[in-house]
Amino acid sequence: MADPPDPPRDARRRRALFRATHRGTHETDLLVGGFVARHIHRLPDDALAELEAILDLPDPDLADWLTGRRPLPEDAPALLRAMHAAARS
């Protein structure tokens, strides 16, 4: 069976924004959702795919990385590094 086609770009953006702002913990909703709300409209498709992968990460890990409680993994994607920088500024 063939894979379904990629959803349209606008639907992907809406879905990503919803997932970013409804993480399950208020802290991560603010950190991730705030960043995504500010930048979603200008993310190219490759960064959108990177964001979708980041949104699959567990909330405790994201919160710890973005607040600096734990260092980012060495192989952290560029978008996660950008979120980290934004959260720390």
DSSP code for 5: P
pLDDT band at 89 (very low <50, low <70, confident <90, very high): confident
DSSP H or E run through 79: helix 78-88
Domain boundary assignment for the chain: 9-88
* Residue 8, pLDDT score: 64
- Provide the whole-model pTM: 0.86
Amino acid found at 22: H
Averaged pLDDT for residues 1-15: 74
* Residue 88, pLDDT score: 87
CATH class (in words) of the domain with range 9-88: mainly alpha
| Burial bucket for residue 84 (CB in 10 Å: 0-12, 13-18, 19+) | buried
Question: For residue 1, is pLDDT > 70?
Answer: no
Residue pLDDT, tens place only, 10-67: 899 999 999 999 998 899 999 999 999 999 999 998 999 999 999 999 999 999 999 9
Alpha-carbon distances of 51 from 1, 2, 43, 82, rounded to whole Å: 27, 24, 9, 11
